[in-house]
Structure 1
Amino acid sequence: MTYKAIIFDLDGTLVNSIEDLGDSMNLVLDNFGYPTHNYKAYNHFVGSGIKNLVIKALPETHKTHDIVNTCFNAMMDVYSNNCTVKTKPYDGILELLNQLKSQKLKLSVLSNKSDILTKKVVSSLLPNYFHPVFGLTKEVNKKPNPIKALEISETLNIKPENIIFVGDTNIDIQTAKNANMLAVGVTWGFRDKKELIESGAKYILNHPTDLLDILHSKKKKDWR
């Protein structure tokens, strides 16, 4: 199989954003008098969009519609001003992207982070690598729904089976499978290898440049 394009998840795959996400949410929680959480907890809160993060971070007794919406709006205000304070690309990501770009591969981003914040983070920290860049605009389109992955396929005019989808959570792996793309998981993100394998990842990367081995290998087999 010849792969012509790669779709990357953003948070936990290209950039480590857990501290900015956690700090922003904790500020909101503290302002409303709710308990805060450590970064390890936030590893399991993220992945399904900021509203879902808010719901998971709130106390069980305070997950009403009004409270969730109030805290979500507050979180968006705080995080939009702090989404690139501590966030940075993982070690090896820039090296990988430069290699992929030199090989004329098409690169794209698909995130469950809001579209405006996805574009802000990518343009600030990883400019000139990706097209298109899609974040979340409608809850119904949220990964693992493959609709936006397939839209990227159409935009690039590349068949899904010729596209690699790289992510750090079971949601990303499910999205890849739903879109009929090659599902590749990464171990440096927010979830563990076990989750990725159980979700059906065909390959597991321990370092970003491991992806080059998949692209150049003539014999494709499970590499987990």
Structure 2
Amino acid sequence: MNVKVVIFDWDGTLIDSVEHIAESLHQAATELGYPDLERKAYRNIIGLGMVEALQKLYPDLSLDEIARIREGYSGYFFQKVTTPQNVFDGMAEVVADICQSGRGCSVATGKSRRGLAQALTTSGLGHHFDITRCADETRSKPDPLMLEEILEFYGYQPEDAVMIGDTHYDLDMARRIGMPAIGVEWGAHDREVLQSCDPCAVVNTVGDLRRVLGL
């Protein structure tokens, strides 16, 4: 692909964290007496900002209820530190090779700034990224504001970049501004869901991703 910048989602795309997020949400919600949902329900909202995710899981929550669940979620989630071993095999090399090629490299994530700041350091990936945007400092996916802010940072147009993600929230976000997107099958959503957003490719191995990116 002849693009100037590659924008990655974080959880489920670079980091093998989907099950930990789903379990942390499940524990936090059920501990407070909210319904025990199927694990797929928790997986399906990964990629959204936390407020939007909880509103989708448990409609009609008050702001106080959301705050209590978020506090419980943080307690569970931060018990586990993201390490280089949590990076999907081969993805650290993909990120490094993108930077080596002279293309920009950035992150657009539904994580909070607190969560991403820690993970950037402990994963060993942080020094590769020019800019990162989080849901709690802009708007949640699939609103494309975080992509627009990244493009503004570089001075690029949507067609100059590609969004890589494991959920339809990632790919729909890109589609809304005419940005090419690549879906990866090793995260939260399956191929059929990813293809519904008309990405330029859906890949199921890191090798396939490298070929699409021309690495």
Which TM-score applies when normalising by structure 2?
Answer: 0.85
Deviation sequence 1:50-89 (CA, Å, 0-9, x none)? 233334555x7x8444323321233234424435379811
Instruction: State the number of aligned residues.
Output: 214
Q: Is 1:134 aligned to 2:133, yes or no?
A: yes
Residue of structure 2 equivalent to 1:54: 54
Contact kept, 8 Å, 1:119 with 1:133, in 2: the verdict is: no
Q: CA deviation at 1:14?
A: 0.8
Residue of structure 2 equivalent to 1:221: none
Residue of structure 2 equivalent to 1:76: 74
1:122 is aligned, of 107, 120, 123, to 120
What is the rounded CA distance, in whole Å, between the counterparts of 1:82 and 1:107 in structure 2?
A: 26
Q: CA deviation at 1:100?
A: 1.6
What is the rounded CA distance, in whole Å, between the counterparts of 2:33 and 2:119 in structure 1?
A: 29
Contact kept, 8 Å, 1:48 with 1:142, in 2: the verdict is: yes
Q: Indicate how the Cα distance of structure 1 residues 75 and 119 shifts in structure 2: closer, same or farther if over 3 A, else same.
A: same
Deviation sequence 1:131-156 (CA, Å, 0-9, x none)? 20111125x61122212211111212
What is the rounded CA distance, in whole Å, between the counterparts of 1:52 and 1:67 in structure 2?
A: 13
The residue identity in structure 1 corresponding to 2:126 is P
The residue identity in structure 2 corresponding to 1:28 is A
Q: Indicate how the Cα distance of structure 1 residues 137 and 34 shifts in structure 2: closer, same or farther if over 3 A, else same.
A: closer
2:153 is aligned, of 152, 155, 165, to 155
Residue of structure 2 equivalent to 1:23: 23
What is the rounded CA distance, in whole Å, between the counterparts of 1:165 and 1:124 in structure 2?
A: 23
Q: Tell me how large the CA RMSD over aligned residues is.
A: 2.7
Contact kept, 8 Å, 1:164 with 1:181, in 2: the verdict is: yes
Contact kept, 8 Å, 1:173 with 1:201, in 2: the verdict is: yes
Larger radius of gyration: 1
- Return 80-89 or 40-49, whichever deviates more: 80-89
Residue of structure 1 equivalent to 2:213: 215
Q: CA deviation at 1:49?
A: 1.9
